[in-house]
Structure 1
Amino acid sequence: MSAARSSALTTALAVSLLTLACGDSGAGGAEAGLTEGTGTTGSGTTTGDDPPGDPPTTTGSDDDPGSGTHGQGMTTTTTGEPACDPNQLSLLERDYLGVGEDVKGETLPACSEHRWYVALPDESSWQIRLTRTDGPGPLRATVVWPDEPTALVWQAGLAPPLVSGEDPAEAIFAVPRSGEFAVHVRSDSPDDAADYNLEFVCVIGCERETTRFPIVLVHGWTGFEAIGPITYFYGVTADLESRGFPIEIAVLDPYNSSTVRSGQLAEQLDEFLVAQRARKVDLLGHSQGGIDSRAVVATHGYGDRVSALVTIASPHRGTYITDLALGLAPGGVEAALGFLLNFVGAVSAQQKSDAEASFYSLSEHYMQDEFNPTNPDDPRVQYISYTGRTCDAASFLIPGNGCHDLVDPLIGWGYALLQLARGDNDGLVTVESAKWGDYRGEMIADHIDEVGQLFGVTDLKFDHLEFYRELARDLFAEEH
């Protein structure tokens, strides 16, 4: 055989062997199901959805706290879908839980965290129990201030942390102040849904009471301590706080326009919300204090920070006495003005000027033509109203007329004027003018008795402290 022929045969044989080898390799890959781009997945491999050259998509992370794989060096099977980020869970606002209400069989969806609300009184302690009833991984719960930034919730717990795996978890929460708290629940395996129970049992101080939000008392004319050394709402603050209710007191100008006073109230509400670590307040205003409270909601935009607004004998449609005193209505200007200035105790020229600004804010002309059209009710706020009704000696002694309070001589002139011109009243404000929102009826009281003056002496049929206790209990029952 020639050398040339031998070389050609050798080359042909090498090419054949190479072709055979490549064919065998391709067949083996197909049988294993590992050919890239087929859409069939295997452990730690890419899928048909992954772009060529990119690393495989995995679920879980060695570095994510609370993922269920922290420190394990593990990842879950790839699916082409990104796993939920434990640091970016959806916060789901759940219900407010009243006394005796527990959470039973609640489902925590994947990639989410629950937030519940409870209201608990100070000087009490509660056992909190968390039980995971279904689903993988432990569940965690923590109690925090309701205004706690979401990013800090799991580092700012007010009670020992609860972690429920196979067994229930329990912790005792010593309540630091009366009012609302937030309870957060999340899973250590957030990629999967889980079911749980959440229970609250009082163990100490169970007789204590509270509202969900702090009650802010807003005074009317004469200022907070204008009647000698005594407080405006006589004994109310001490009585409610002794039972556990959270109370704040607004201190506004003794007499000024509602424009000025509502601005002062807005500044103080900001302070109260911070001091109480609260999201909202309940406003309780007597006389002009109720009008100031309406203005702080509508004019100053506090509807997102006020839950309920309760007015006591506030002249929502004005009071005719002020129109008369300012010459806005025909009649005895000097007598009406003298009566009002004497009532509020304004003696200096500046005080009289400020008092007249206050009178104008409560006139029928201003309230009906200016204030009400520009201060509509906020649908996020519940408006509640009460009024007093009184009568003179002659009416008081008439059987069957339904009047059980004898007017205080200090406002007897005002009662007689209003009764003749506008009808039933409390000595300064008519019953019809005081009705606003959810009107809940008459108090057996004149305008002074409504806040327990003077010195707590009221009609025998009217206990002003009990009235305010029941009012606070109603607010709690209605989740305010």
Structure 2
Amino acid sequence: MKIKPLLSSMLTLSLFISLSTQASVITQIKPNYVSSNYAQTKYPIVLTHGMFGFSRLGTQAFGMDYWYQIVPDLARNGAQVYATQVSPLNSTEIRGEQLLQQVDEIIALTGKPKVNLFGHSHGGPTSQYVEAVAPNKVASVTAIAGAMHGAEFADNMLKYQVVAVPLSKIFNIIGTAESYLQGNPDLPNDATASLKSLSTQGTAIFNAKYATAATPSNCNISNSGQKITSNGIHHYSWTGDRQVTNLFDVLDTALMTVVPALFMGPASNDGILSVCTANYGQVIRNDYEHNHFDEVNQVLGLRGLFSQDPVALFRQHANRLKLQGL
């Protein structure tokens, strides 16, 4: 009888349709060929963007990836890798819940019980939230220039309401446009909630509620948190400490000139976040010749002529996780 195989096929198709509908915000690149198993981690790699972030704006043929060239390189080197979409602008908790839902979908799709979370900027605390509420689903958390102790620019923007109020309205328009351009217009955006979450005070409240020993006790360049916490989860971080790195990268140069001048103090920073706020778990390096956009190979791979290749850094880190059995 062919009834049982038929029912099984129908159930599989039903599950696929259901997951496709709910997991449409997840981007996975399947390469035409695999060149090596160098980045083939035990558990899937899940990438989470920061403030004003996205997975892809536009179509595959005519669009721009946030993790420019990083996702396909990891896939070509054997990794199961997914780029998630969370609200470009919102509180850490809301973004964290959105990420958790996508983690559940990835676990269902891959059959793997855990994932390796990579978070850039606000994606760092967003990943920390998932670890706190669902530690059994997380193998490791890696923060790339993560706002683990808050952001000075958020403090300064909130201090001056005459500036914060109109800017928040503009930010919401930009965030909504990004959500629309990446094909997920229902993602809610709230610039004020985003800034409050990223402020020093907001982050301190968050860290008290969703505590992890991977986060250092204070924002100090020489201070680092635990690599492996009591729940068995591994933690890593790295960041850059440059601002303007390539004059041909016009958007990058403009932002890296204005933001530090108006909203940042004299401390070492990558143009958006101070180096000390990015320290988390095992600090791989905190002095790469990158600014906040170079760290994810933006914009379109333009960076300092002799700076480290961010694509290679992600590949090497995937291999690091692989060697740890993660």
TM-score (norm 1): 0.49
By percentage of residues, which structure has more strand?
1
Deviation, 1:392, is: 5.4
- Say whether 1:470 aligns with 2:304: no
Structure with bigger RCO (C-alpha 8 Å, 6+ apart) = 2
- Return the match for 1:374 from 209, 218, 222: 209
- What CA deviation, in whole Å up to 9, does each residue of 1:439-470 have, x standing for no partner? 11122111111111111112222312111111
- Aligned ranges 1:68-87 → 2 under 5 Å: none
Q: 1:251 to 1:352 in 2, by over 3 A?
A: closer
Cα distance in 2 between the residues matched to 1:218 and 1:247: 11
> What count of residue pairs does the alignment treat as equivalent?
257
Matches within 5 A, 1:315-394: 315-327=147-159, 334=163, 338=167, 345-346=174-175, 354-368=190-204, 370-377=205-212, 379=230, 380-391=232-243
**Counterpart residue number, 1:94:** none
Give me the whole-angstrom Cα distance separating, in 1, the residues matched to 2:53 and 2:145. 16
1:446 aligns with 2:291: yes
Aligned to 2:123: 289
Larger radius of gyration: 1
Q: Is the contact made by 1:324 and 1:333 (CA closer than 8 Å) also made in structure 2?
A: no
SS of residue paired to 2:64: coil
Aligned partner of residue 316 in structure 1, secondary structure: coil
Q: Aligned in 2, Cα 1:231/1:475: closer, same or farther, shift over 3 Å?
A: same
Describe how 1:128-139 pairs up with structure 2 within 5 A. Answer: none
SS of 1:284's equivalent in the other structure is: strand
Say whether the 8 Å CA contact 2:243–2:256 is kept in structure 1: no
Tell me the distance in 2 between the aligned counterparts of 1:316 and 1:264.
Answer: 19
* Partner in structure 2 of residue 113 of structure 1: none
Among 53, 69, 73, the alignment partner of 1:223 is 53
Structure 1 Cα separation of the partners of residues 37 and 199 of structure 2:
42
In the TM superposition, what whole-angstrom CA distance separates every residue of 1:96-154 from its partner, at most 9, and x where no partner exists?
Answer: xxxxxxxxxxxxxxxxxxxxxxxxxxxxxxxxxxxxxxxxxxxxxxxxxxxxxxxxxxx
Match of 2:101 in 1: 267
Q: CA deviation at 1:391?
A: 3.9
Counterpart residue number, 1:457: 302
Does the aligned pair in 1 maintain the 2:156–2:263 contact within 8 Å? no
Q: CA deviation at 1:416?
A: 2.8
CA distance in 2: counterparts of 1:340 and 1:391, whole angstroms? 26
Q: Greater helix percent: which structure? A: 2
Match in the other structure for 2:88: 254
Which residue of structure 2 aligns with residue 303 of structure 1? Answer: 135
Cα distance change, pair 429–336 in 1 and its aligned pair in 2 (3 A): farther
Call closer, same or farther: CA 1:426–1:292 in 2, change over 3 Å: same
What CA distance in whole angstroms lies between the structure 2 residues aligned with 1:321 and 1:356? Answer: 13
Tell me the distance in 1 between the aligned counterparts of 2:37 and 2:189. 46
Residue in 2 aligned with 1:436? 280
Distance of 2:174 and 2:115 partners within structure 1: 31
Change (3 A) 1:296 1:418: same
TM-score (norm 2): 0.71
- What letter matches 2:292 in structure 1? H
Residues 344 and 303 (structure 1 numbering): CA distance in 2 closer, same or farther, change over 3 Å? farther
